[in-house]
Structure 1
């Protein structure tokens, strides 16, 4: 076997049991991310009533976790290329447990905003790490599907979170929504520590050199692959942000940042404000959580559709159609009458296209960047998106507070999604995988 190309060792081999266990853990982490990101949205209708806070404060709380996610993507993600994917996953998971657990004990807007920022740090770093990790664990045949399924962890977490929150809010109040997230994360933590492996790409270029071959071959054995006789010392290379805008990936970084910014702004307007918008039409917080859960269920179907369609028709046309669907469906959400069937249908349509587009973004991020800067580049792109995701809920709150209605606010975000669609149409190099 060729020892010069770590990313190619698993490319044409079937997935081993150990690889599938690792991929399952990554999917569970994505599910947890989806729950923790939206926990504040599920709790918000009950919390805003109990605390008697206005739309501007609601927007601040919805945005606070996203601010933390932006910092996590920018600051923590590059450490995965320097110190390994596995260490960062564990550190991010512990941070999420602490932040989510403390959120349940908050009694003021300021306290909750701080805890959401802390939780967001862990989530932002986690998402940026699990994308390259999933890509490096999969083989060529299954990579796009694996990345799409990992992306589907978010709506699965949202769907389960909406269903669980409906029960928790009815019986125990909003603090239980956060306690449940912390409890699930505590259950997942031992599995991560015991079973999650480091990536071969990182091990092949890691220090100390005398242990590199031993560690790589030990992992290859667990993946049912033959050992390599030698791993040439990696050439001195820039790492972290020094590689971010290298000539061979500068254009892709910029284009992906713009596309992800547009998608994430729309996605977080939709996902964070949907329960509150539903509640504002006269439905109860429990009913609002159920509608949100239904939209995430539709999102699962969207992600699966993208994974299947991309394999048959190619990723590019499917990703473009999904992004265009985001623009049209979010506009339809704004125009839907205040009836349960219309809102349910519009929310499901939005969920389908938003998460299908998210799966497309994951598939592109997992393959378009060079391996030695994959976590850094993905983290930067996601971090740019997180800035937009932090701005979007607050911006929507300001527009609602200024007297704009659901139709006008949704129209603004529909235009943003159309802008991202245009960049996807022009960005042909985004769909050319880098080994």
Structure 2
């Protein structure tokens, strides 16, 4: 049962002497989640789904676009790379500002960039224009992904934190799946521009939702002291069913924020550790997601079956992310995420030696997706508690940004290995081993580097 939301006049009387950040966090961690908190988590899910659609929008539009413009795969690759580059820059540049000016304002900036980029893409008249506009959209996507992870963690209580972060994370594959179906319907009646216009409309619709229903993060308000901070904090506390504070404790503001805190002497070890784990994780993820359809086609199956395998992997991945979050309520996240990484590595290697029997390949694809997205959801949960309130968005942005760079390298590296003469089994074994290494590194550093 959730704590009822009270208007200011009916809320509990201000609590004297309870202005410390630790006290407020402890009360929020122990209390049931209010309707306001649940709505905030739901909004992060919708934003994540929009990210999933926007990232894949070029791939949805690609078949019609290549016919309309008469371009080949190499030219299309430039557009894909431009979007990924924009996402990396957005994660590096926009996310740290959320630790300075607030989570909510930067979400709105990210949404504005996504909407603008998608609208411009719909009216692009050349490959160069489209690539430029994908950079603009990518800036918003990269920033948004890095900011919604802290929001999901900060509005959750202790019991459901891993689950809420997982719910946020699975919005990405859900957005990709729903977007793919919607794009197919749009392309049946309109041209490729409709795919980008749909993304523009979706981003535009989410702007008033964020403005009206998403409060500023309590964690941010507790660490960023300025004029009116107490009133803003109390307004959010009451909306979350908590008593307002009579005053903020002195000395609570951190000395460092953003990247200064991410690379502080007492934090840099944890930063490099979680970054390394994520770099290894995304290598296996993007190898599998990028090359699995082609490997199925190389086994002698038509493109329609390769697409079916991709859909199954995404569906199973959503289930894997949810299950991990649910199990994390009672079991160690350290063991769960490390186990997911190990099993993802095993399944990736197994996929490479699976005989060309489609039902069997479909099963292994589903298991790969299940553990893949489960591991990714667990990584988001680990990120949320590796950095403090004053550096959570910047830290997530840094790790996400380096991950974006790594995600661009993985498919190219796999392609080079295939070109060098290695078979599917050998390449899958290499990337499976990378995931095993990520699991071992995560397990080893969990208690050494994480603050809790």
Q: Deviations over 1:225-280 (max 9, x none)?
A: 11111102434612121111223322221111011111122223333444565566
Q: Deviations over 1:74-107 (max 9, x none)?
A: 1111100000000000110111112223333445
Partner in structure 1 of residue 98 of structure 2 = 80
Partner in structure 1 of residue 320 of structure 2 = 302
TM normalised by structure 1 equals: 0.90
Partner in structure 2 of residue 224 of structure 1 = 241
Contact persistence 1:60–1:394 (CA under 8 A) = no
Distance 1:97 1:359, change over 3 A: same
1:383 aligns with 2:395: no
Secondary structure of the residue that 2:100 maps to in structure 1? helix
Q: Name which of 116, 119, 134 aligns with 1:116.
A: 134
Q: Which whole-Å CA distance do the structure 2 matches of 1:425 and 1:148 have between them?
A: 19
The answer for unaligned runs of 5 or more in structure 1 is: none
Secondary structure of the residue that 2:20 maps to in structure 1? coil
1:125 aligns with 2:158: no
Q: Deviations over 1:288-322 (max 9, x none)?
A: 54432222111011111211222233111111111
Contact persistence 2:254–2:390 (CA under 8 A) = no
Q: Name which of 369, 383, 389 aligns with 1:371.
A: 389
Q: Which whole-Å CA distance do the structure 1 matches of 2:426 and 2:65 have between them?
A: 26
Q: Which whole-Å CA distance do the structure 1 matches of 2:417 and 2:194 have between them?
A: 30
Within 5 A, what are the aligned runs for 1:192-271? 192-209=210-227, 211-233=228-250, 234-235=252-253, 237-271=255-289
Question: How many pairs are equivalent?
Answer: 433
Q: Name which of 8, 15, 19 aligns with 1:3.
A: 19
Distance 1:279 1:52, change over 3 A: farther
Shift of 1:65: 1.9
TM normalised by structure 2 equals: 0.87
Partner in structure 2 of residue 330 of structure 1 = 348
Distance 1:157 1:333, change over 3 A: farther
Q: Name which of 54, 67, 72 aligns with 1:36.
A: 54
Contact persistence 1:63–1:389 (CA under 8 A) = no
Q: Which whole-Å CA distance do the structure 1 matches of 2:292 and 2:119 have between them?
A: 24
Q: Name which of 392, 403, 409 aligns with 2:410.
A: 392
Distance 1:58 1:308, change over 3 A: same
Distance 1:118 1:273, change over 3 A: farther
Q: Which whole-Å CA distance do the structure 2 matches of 1:53 and 1:407 have between them?
A: 32
Shift of 1:158: 2.0
Contact persistence 1:46–1:285 (CA under 8 A) = no
Within 5 A, what are the aligned runs for 1:303-318? 303-318=321-336
Partner in structure 1 of residue 117 of structure 2 = 99
Secondary structure of the residue that 2:328 maps to in structure 1? helix
